[in-house]
Structure 1
Amino acid sequence: MSPPPPSAPEPEAEPYVVEDCRGVLQLMSDGTVRRAADPPFAVEIPADECGVEWKDVTWEPAHGLNVRLYRPRRHLGAASDDAPPRLPVLAYFHGGGFCFGSGTWLNIHASCLRLAAELPAVVLSFDYRLAPEHRIPAAQDDGAKALSWLASTAATDPWLASSSADFSRIFLAGDSAGGNIAHHVAAAVCGGDARIRGAVLVAPAMFGEARTRAELEVPPGAFLTVEICERYMRLALPEGCSWDDPLINPAGPLAPPLGAVPMAPMLVVAGGADLLRDRNREYARRMKEEWGKDVEYVEVAGAGHGFFQLDPWSEQADQLVSTVRRFVVDHM
């Protein structure tokens, strides 16, 4: 009697979505990650691009990381007696929960156009490795590497040299996850680098185990909710890492004291309607009162999380840009 014919193999199940972040990032059941090329909302760019020129450069070839360079047209040419003064350099890190975003996205591009035009400054908008493929501290490590690249490579770039950039006056800046990166870069390098004149943290991404009042009161329809924060944490933190780890909660119960760490002056800007405002306020308080840092804290009334990246032309964005300009001028 002949053996029965072999049964056909079971068809492989199609990968399904395990985690979804705003539709722009999906973690699939087979471990693959799908990312959208563009943000999930539209932002207009002025026809003259605010009088700012820009170009893209690969700053970290090993991981294909891009930096977008911005220079105001009216400041082109070497400094002279009758030329505009040399401009500070702003190293900027975008937001996106450590999981998505890019300096090439139109909303980030528009934000940097405003900063370059109105501070004014030469702005370098750095991309960094993203989770879940590269969990933090990869992003913070890339922030420190970006600063080294700025000193070793960007300072000799002919395109930037003609922009009146003054690489002896550097400011760190970041929004949301980028604000967290700016904190860690400031703590790591500012003490040994006299070129760093200040750091601007806009709604820096900070989370923790215990819920704050702002987190408990945030309305369900807000742009950032506790549920979305928890999703970011599952994707961005290393396996088994506490949400109170200083990587994500730099002023929390596990944070090492920073009193002995030299740091440049800091500006912390929170949204008055942002669920992160309590953590941002407590961070600024501990930095100033307990650790002796030069920290200014500002709340933008009625602003939710990501207000500058969502609408770089709003009245709230006007207040932010004006505040950052004053801070840069005061510490140049």
Structure 2
Amino acid sequence: MPAAVAAPAPGDANVVEDLFGFLRVLSDGSIIRSPDDPEFSPTTFPSDHPSVQWRDAVYDKANNLRVRMYKPSAGAEPVGRKLPVLVHFHGGGFCLGSCTWGNVHSFCLRLATEADAVVLSAGYRLAPEHRLPAAFDDAEGFLKWLSDQSVNAAASDGWLTEAADFGRVFVTGDSAGGTMAHHLAVRAGSATPKRGEGEGEDVDPITIKAYVLLMPFFGGVDRSKSEAVEFPLEELPFVNLALLDQFWRLSLPVGASRDHPIANPFGPDSPGLGSVEFPPVLVVSGGTDILRDRNVDYAERLAALGKPVKVIEFGGQPHGFYTLDPWSETTGELIRLIAQFIVDSCVFEPRTT
């Protein structure tokens, strides 16, 4: 980690990158993060819900990475009822965000109760201190931790395992978290299946049924139509092209362009996805999101490859509307669609050739 230095004054010539004053990069390479939550992460949303229990745990001690775990209260339901597991990765352009931020926490509270699922909101290392693919490696490490929870009774968290159905795991992600979900799907779908001693015996203790990409953060050197939209200065949206470019500058490997395979899954140097085994994929886009066209193009390209993908667009909605207002009627509609996608994916049978 970079050494701590005195915070520069606003407008200091030594600041070469500034994200809302919350994250600053100095000309000597030093990085300064504010210890406080930024103003755009509201703390006015409910921090508890009468139908949801939650607690924190550390899943990676070496990097001090935490997961915030949620499960619906039993209520009148039978004791020992097992629920699907939603692994969730927050957004923030790979540079910002936390599973503890108020809006992320509130969204996961609602997701747990209305989707009737165990929700695991996992943190990961952020750029530019840890450039990509560090976040992807952390996400893969979290799935390994989850697998260990299901098989190692001595080390597992009973609070989690008493409610989690490890045979029904879903990976969800918001914005940058959606990009992480894509790369996890590609890594899993490209890997040689693990086998036990018995012929054909799969020893992976968790089963990922599907992926949900909420307005995934993809990029490219060539601008999409929605990226090329010019807004009057006074109407410039919070998530704009300058911000997206800054996120990529700070998070991609040094010297990489936005066509790097991390950013552009269909770029000139990106590996083909035709041979990748994808379970069902749900892509959610927003009608007024600058990333709208990239999201739709991603889903259409996967569909053209014969992958089981579905895209849903929320017309008139901006990027990340579900974390901007986790308790809105539109967010409730999104969660209902996710809940139905969970049900449908559990009966999905892949095509055989």
- Work out whether the TM-score is over 0.5: yes
| C-alpha distance 304-47 of structure 1, shift in aligned 2 (>3 A) | closer
Q: Deviations over 1:108-144 (max 9, x none)?
A: 1011111111111101111011000110111111111
Q: Any residues of structure 2 matched to 1:33-44 within 5 Å, and which?
A: 33-36=31-34, 37-41=36-40, 42-44=42-44
How far is the alpha carbon of 1:51 from its aligned partner?
Answer: 1.6
Deviations 1:56-99 (A, max 9, x none): 1111111111111111113698xxxx458421001100000000
Q: How far apart in 2 are the matches of 1:153 and 1:195? A: 13
**3-state DSSP of counterpart to 2:92:** coil
Q: How many aligned residue pairs are there? A: 315
Q: CA RMSD in A?
A: 2.2
Q: 1:237 to 1:48 in 2, by over 3 A?
A: closer
Q: Which residue of 2 aligns with 1:303?
A: 317
CA distance in 2, matches of 1:104, 1:228: 23
In structure 2, the partner of 1:214 is 226
Structure with greater proportional helix content: 1
Matches within 5 A, 1:113-128: 113-128=109-124
Distance in 2, matches of 1:327 and 1:50, equals: 25
- Look up the match of 1:9: none
Residues 119 and 324 in structure 1, CA contact (< 8 A), matched pair in contact too: yes
8 Å CA contact 2:212, 2:282 repeated in 1 = yes
Offset of residue 154 of structure 1: 6.2
Partner residue in 1 for 2:198: none
Q: Which sections of structure 1, spanning at least 5 residues, go unmatched?
A: 1-11
1:262 aligns with 2:277: yes
**Residue pair 1:267, 1:296 contacting (<8 A) in 2 also:** yes
Which position in structure 2 is the counterpart of 1:56?
56
Kindly indicate whether the alpha-carbon contact (under 8 Å) linking 1:22 and 1:40 is maintained by their aligned counterparts in 2: no
What runs of 5+ residues in structure 2 fail to find an aligned partner?
Answer: 1-5, 194-203, 347-353
Distance 1:76-1:58 versus aligned 2 partners, 3 A rule: farther
Larger radius of gyration: 1
1:1-332 matches, cutoff 5 A: 16-36=14-34, 37-41=36-40, 42-46=42-46, 48-74=48-74, 82-83=78-79, 85-153=81-149, 156-162=156-162, 164-190=163-189, 192=193, 195-217=207-229, 219=231, 220=233, 221-289=236-304, 291-332=305-346
Q: CA deviation at 1:250?
A: 1.1
Q: Give the TM-score taking structure 1 as reference length.
A: 0.89
Report the secondary structure of 1:243's partner residue.
coil
Q: CA deviation at 1:23?
A: 2.8
Select between 320-329 and 31-40 the one with higher mean Cα deviation: 31-40
Distance in 2 separating the partners of 1:47 and 1:64: 23
- Contact kept? 1:233, 1:243, Cα under 8 Å: yes
- Paired amino acid for 1:243: R
